[in-house]
Structure 1
Amino acid sequence: IGRFIGPEKDVPAPDVYTTPQIMGWMMDEYSTIVGYNAPGVITGKPIPLGGSLGRGDATARGAVYCVIEAANVLGIDLKGASVAIQGYGNAGYYCGTLMQKLAGSKIVAVTDSRGGVYDANGIDPEAAYQHKQSTGSVKGLNGLKGITNDEVLELDVDVLIPAAIENVITDKNAANVKAKIVAEAANGPTTPEADEILHRNGVYVIPDFLCNAGGVTVSYFEWVQNIGGFYWKIEDVHARLKERMVKAFHETHEMAKRHNVDNRVGAYLVSIARVAEAMQLRGWV
């Protein structure tokens, strides 16, 4: 793919099953092909190879910033609020730790591909992660009550975070979703039919391409740092990410409110308006 990518052409970013090491290898191979060091060709690299501080938890951090803003507009106090997480990979784990750290929320359920655990009194997200690292699953953590991936979606919680695979909330189970906020850390976890049901039932959905945009945003930051040759402190990464996520959230929320549509449609309207403006300024339309 060397002919089709490049720092000024197309810049790949991490996805499922990639690691910083793999991204570093790809950057190195591209650099070999073109004959010079090109750290800006790819993101998600190890720090010594031009990676950005704050990239590891960026997807989850962006999602949590959105949840905090959603709670503010809905009048929900997140301190002690209950959170259920489906999927306990990178995004799910960091969502758990950051909801606890930044919002003071209580993680009551976590699941992975094999199932999960539930405890109304709260689960230590770090302990769940360590248990998964040693056993391959969060299932069986401290002898807690087991829960399935279907059941976790229907828990009576304040915040539900689907952070696993797509199409888990469908027209078959959407009516049973009791969460006040659904934060889509995964890509496409909600079907269009389910979207309508959730909106009708008053469930506040933060759509995936807003909610999980923290990862690609910090990938952009990494590219900017590579091109400029100047690297930021982690506090700067967090502050700039928060600024962009909060701004994007409120643009979406206000657009959806103005047109009386759900947040996904609101986000589409915001993005289409930007493209339309750019096309007009270029003289295309």
Structure 2
Amino acid sequence: MRKKERQIITVGLILLFAAIGWWAYHGGGGGFVDITNALSDNSTENTTYELAVSNLLAIVDQSTGHVLVSFQLANEEHFNISSVQVLYALNVADPNNATYTALNATAENGTYKAEIPSKFGDVVYYKVKVVYDTDKTLESDVQSITVTDTTAPTLSSVSLDYNSTAGTFSIDFNATDNDQIAKYYVYWADLGTSNTVSNTTTFTEVNATALPITITNVTANDYYAFYFVVEDISGNKAMLYNETAPYVIQANATATWPVVVTEQSSS
């Protein structure tokens, strides 16, 4: 390049930068202009996403005793997920070294769910396992839940059958429970010839694990007061009548037996 051409180019560059400087201080808003981004077009924003288990929740299905596990996966849209499982173990001594059974979790509206086939009384240990990006694995910490039955039995009615010859009451229960009824209770008192319960009336408890329950040494034509309780294997109870307002009936051979006792019956 000739000397004169170099001089012309040099002068042109000086004039160009002078014009830019004048615009920055006078016509560009009165402040210095950073033109770095305008001169560079290869800068990119790098964002790192982390796959994580969130909102992990377990509840007991009171109708079955199964544990229902639900959770979400944060940032799952940025990963190639190949499997999502819930791993569980029941009643183990060391959950960190136990053998876990795998259940495939199903996704619905962004929430994953799995149902663990436990029963009331079990201690359930569970965790989430996710396989993603071909060979990577994510596992949550081990969680636990005790499967507790909080639903009381239903005591619909009681049948009283008086046998005047034997001098007995035979008592049967119409009761149900979401798990299992463990014990039946009959509380009874001989009121004699009066059908009135007082503060001094003492009730005798009779209980059994099978039905019917038999009350012996019944005196003909005496009045008897009753109330009834059922208890399931988790200790939940249901009552029909009570100590202060029991069901009262006369041991009368001429009455029609058995008598079905409900909460709506009159004494």
Compute the TM-score of the two structures, normalised by the length of structure 1: 0.20
- Larger RCO of the pair (alpha carbons < 8 Å, separation 6+): 1
Q: Which has the higher strand share?
A: 2
Larger Rg: 2
Return the structure number with greater helix share: 1
